[in-house]
Structure 1
Amino acid sequence: MKVVSLSTRHSVAPVATSEEAALLRALARDDEQAFAEIYQRYWDELHAHACRKLDCPHEAEEVVQDLFVALWNKRHSAPLIQQLNAYLFTALKYRVIDCLRAQAVRQAHAAAPPTHAADCGTEETVAVADLAAALAASLRRMPNHARAVFQLSRLEHRTVPEIAAHLHVSPKTVEYHLARSLRLLRGCLREFMVSVLLLAMLNA
């Protein structure tokens, strides 16, 4: 779906829970007017926040547009959203982090000596592949509940209440499994980094 900028925008005002819930139910029924209303209410504040973090209006606009496209694509699960404001800004936070990482990678490439550009590219590709494999292995080693909570939290960017509703468990249970999954992940990745450092020392 193509997101078209609306001609009239205004700052976000507090929205009653019942009104938000009605908008989200309408969105789940493919109501484009409900989507347009959410877009109009939240665009300015989301874009301003992204601009402050990214210091680039163009990239900030792309990030926010991507966020709204994702909201439309997941519209059928919209009624599970507890607080629309919190949901949108949490999703924006993770997209901003991804964008900052991409900026850092571009800057690192630009600063790299040109004579080693090809070698660095090859090494980086191998390192990324190795890290992806380590992450996949770490996920496979997690208990089922911890893995499900981790994927919903870190890969789908859902909040604790949303995960609790989705899995039919209490928020405390979600927090427990999330802490457990992160602890297991840190342990597995620590092993991976030790192996990488040893290999680097041997090849030095």
Structure 2
Amino acid sequence: MDYVSEIKRGNKLIFEEVYHKYHNRFYFYVLRNTASDDLAEEVVQMSFVKVWEKRSELSSSFPIEVQIARIARSVLIDILRRKAIERSALDAIKQNADAVIARDPAADKQLVEKVQEAIESLPPQCKKIFILSREGGLTHLQIADHLSVSPKTVENHISKALKVVRKAAALCFIMGL
């Protein structure tokens, strides 16, 4: 069966067959490399979404599993990179907050207030997604399923929210609050 040409033609039944045939293989590959069930599921889901969205760009020169593997590897790297950036930004904010709080006990309350104000200022959907992620502890995929949006939409909203929160926290530090 030539899966690539069928998927390129938009054959959903063949795409579903490919999904069911290769899902576990890529899930366990990512799980083995990350030891995270949530991350493995997110990478696999995003990879298959990309395969479908970019189906017209699939190459007939390579088997579908090779192309899925390349996409999954790329998605995994992107997600790990994004998570590392988020972690380092949050660590930097925490370190700066610890330094400010050590000098001024009232700074903790002011920082929390400014960050809360920043979160409250977010557009409703962005705010809801950010809260589900940070306070609810949900993965991007879980949020996407819960709100019936794409994982990319969730990623974009969280990225936007983090920029707003970081800016508010940075202003606190600059102003010496």
TM-score by length of 1: 0.43
TM-score by length of 2: 0.49
Greater relative contact order (Cα < 8 A, sep 6+): 2
